[in-house]
Amino acid sequence: MELTLALAIGVLTGSGVWLILRPRTYQLVIGLALLSYAVNLFIFSMGRLRVGAAPVLGADGAGNPADYADPVPQALVLTAIVIGFATTALLLVVLLAARGLTGSDHVDGRESH
């Protein structure tokens, strides 16, 4: 499981970095989205990987803390997803405005020859 997650984070990060270095605004948006998925998975993994452990205490109150998953990274991921979602939406608006104003989808607003 560690290997799968590490590979997933690695592939997402690699593709994301490659895409944000490309000249088209659409590639930039997708690249940033992939990177933020990778970062979200990474934050999640910082709470240590556990299978079958709940992050919320049961109705019978606190038992052994070792039986539970760390809830803090999960809360962090949730916040990061919301913020990432909002800023990506904003970036999309700017992207459309740039396309309309400059007539090009190059990140510099003009084609390089």
Q: Which of 1, 5, 32, 62 binds other proteins (CB under 8 A)?
A: 32
* Closer CB to other proteins, 36 or 69, in the complex: 36
| Alpha carbon 88 to chain centroid, angstroms | 11
User: With the C-alpha atoms ordered 20, 24, 28, 34, is the resulting torsion angle positive or negative?
Assistant: negative
3-state class (DSSP) for residue 106: strand
**106: β partners:** 24
Query: Where in 1-20 is the site for other proteins (CB under 8 A)?
Result: 20
**Is residue 72 at the binding interface for other proteins, with CB under 8 A as the rule?**
yes
How many angstroms separate the CA atoms of 20 and 110, rounded? 17
Q: How far is the CB of 51 from other proteins (least distance, A)?
A: 18
How many angstroms separate the CA atoms of 70 and 50, rounded? 9
3-state class (DSSP) for residue 24: strand
**Is residue 57 at the binding interface for other proteins, with CB under 8 A as the rule?**
no
* Closer CB to other proteins, 35 or 69, in the complex: 35
Binding stretches for other proteins (CB under 8 A) = 20, 25, 28, 32, 35-36, 39, 42-43, 46-48, 72-73, 76, 79-80, 83, 86-88, 90-91, 94-95, 97-98, 101-102, 107-109
